Amino acid sequence: MAIPLKAARLCRLARRTVTSHSASQTTSLPERRCYISTSTGNNLQFKLNELTAHSSLDLFKKETGIIYRMLGLDPSRLPDNPERFRDWSVVFGDEKVSSGRHYFEVTVKKSQEFRVGVADAAMSRDDCVGTNSSSWVFGYAQRKWFAMTNNKIIPVTLVGKPDRIGILLDYEAGVLGLVDVIQPTIIHTIKAQFKDPLCPAFGLWDGEMLTHSGLEEPEGLK
């Protein structure tokens, strides 16, 4: 399938119904395994789950940050683990969300390509976040922001390149929002029908990323 942004690291497809707001488009979307504790309240607090981390990603800062290593570890030297992402530089948070409204932030340094959002805990480890119907992300590549799910990319404008961004998840409302942490305001939303437990999800192809969880949602976000 052709997509407007040149994305060499995109994978596959799949099914569920999703509308992305800002440049309203509707796309059709299904689902798909689980682990760790489940969060049902607000103030989601998590660390990065090393068991899921691709071999090119090193965890640091007490497992709240990741650094991309171009060569990374030799996958054949890692323990055989079905939770690990095999082909894509992706890692999940170690908490699952099945209800509630949650907010977290990320700080990005020296990176020109990354993705941040949520994904079904049982998402296939052969896919990349954003390329299937089990993940919803905001990404940055080629100096442009975009919203992505099911291999559909929708440009997100008027963002610039902030070092720190926020992610707001409202499970029952089926909303994932990209938040300007300075204002604070919601820049763009992805709407979906969440049915399965979700994990915070991150992709990184250069530089480093630090996650900030256990935060109060900024006042005034709708």
Residue 45, Cβ neighbours under 10 Å: how many? 13
User: In which residue ranges of the chain is pLDDT below 50?
Assistant: 1-40
pLDDT at site 99: 96
- The residue count of the chain comes to 222
**Radius of gyration in angstroms for the set of CA atoms belonging to the chain, rounded to a whole number:** 16
3-class DSSP state of 51: helix
pLDDT at 31: 35
Q: Please check whether residue 202 is in contact with residue 114, taking contact to mean a CB–CB distance below 8 angstroms.
A: yes
* Whether this model's pTM surpasses 0.85: no
